[in-house]
Amino acid sequence: MKGPEDDAGLTGKVAIVSGGGAAGDGIGNGRAAAILLARAGTRVVVADLDLKLAERTVDMIKAEGGHAAAHAGDMTKEAECKRLVDAAVDRWGRLDFLDNNIGIGSRGSVVDEKPDEYRRVMQVNVETMFLLSKHAIPAMIKTAKGGSIVNISSISALRPRGLTTYTASKAAVIGLTQAMAVDHGKDHIRVNCICPGPMYTPMVNRGNGMSEAARAARAKASVLKIEGTGWDIGHGVRFLLSNHARYITGHVLVIDGGVTLQGPERDSAT
């Protein structure tokens, strides 16, 4: 006999994945989530500051027979967030899911950090999630009678190690997630959070790239002694958005290979 847990509830639904682009054919957390949702039958609006990066994700989805559309916008601006939500609803008539995946890094203590950089990190890492959710939630209620949101935080929120502003922003994401879960449970909207560990993604490998020795050291930091990738986060997003997680809200899912079970290493790129 089948129960409700047998239906993933992703087919025919509509999702927004912010920060869904990635350099080249690399697999970042957002791109992985977008591809995996599309494989499950979800129609995906892939949003990124750089339209070309979003379009590459869409091309990868369409090559597999999925449905997706690219959208460019600066999600630190409320008008752009509203435009993104409106674009999803105008295109497919509804909005069911939001993957808040935008974020930037920062290093240093409160003494080292410049106030303008602190404000910028908080704006990009927290305010974008606030603004997108502010417009996505009414659309979910109106068009789908509920929905599901995943916010991407970091294990830096749980284990500070010399990335103070980044840690503060990612801790705020957890607080925002849990408050939203309480506020909107009555609206049949679940809100959860993922804390990635040291995943190997195009963002981590930007600039001059990461040496094989550095990659090996990051893999060794996990209890499993293997390297995490964007696919690991994408699978977590798809699970939390699906009906398989129908009784989960306000949860912080750590996906780190057990890194947080061991002692911290300061200034490790995570």
Q: Specify whether the CB–CB gap between 58 and 69 falls below 8 A.
A: yes
Structure tokens at 120: 């910028």
pTM of the model: 0.93
The separation between the first and the last C-alpha atoms of the chain, rounded to the nearest angstrom, is 44
Q: Give the pLDDT of residue 270.
A: 46
Contact between 233 and 255 under an 8 Å Cβ cutoff? The reply is: yes
Positions annotated as catalytic residues are: 166
Contact 152, 101 (CB under 8 A): yes
pLDDT at 200: 86
Domains and CATH numbers, the chain: 4-255 (3.40.50.720)
Q: What pLDDT tens digit does each residue of the chain (270 aa) get?
A: 455 555 799 999 999 999 999 999 999 999 999 999 999 999 999 999 999 999 999 999 999 999 999 999 999 999 999 999 999 999 999 999 999 999 999 999 999 999 999 999 999 999 999 999 999 999 999 999 999 999 999 999 999 988 999 999 999 999 999 999 999 999 999 999 999 998 888 776 555 567 788 788 888 888 999 999 999 999 999 999 999 999 999 999 999 999 999 866 554 444
pLDDT at 2: 56
CA distances from 30 to 13, 74, 146 (A): 18, 16, 22
- CA–CA dist 154, 169 (Å, integer): 9
Q: What gap in Å lies between CA 220 and CA 112, rounded to an integer?
A: 29
pLDDT value of position 172 = 98
Backbone angles phi, psi at 117, to 5 degrees: -70, -40
H or E segment and range at residue 17: strand 14-18
Q: Are strands 199-200 and 68-72 parallel, antiparallel or unpaired?
A: unpaired
Residue 237 has a pLDDT of: 98
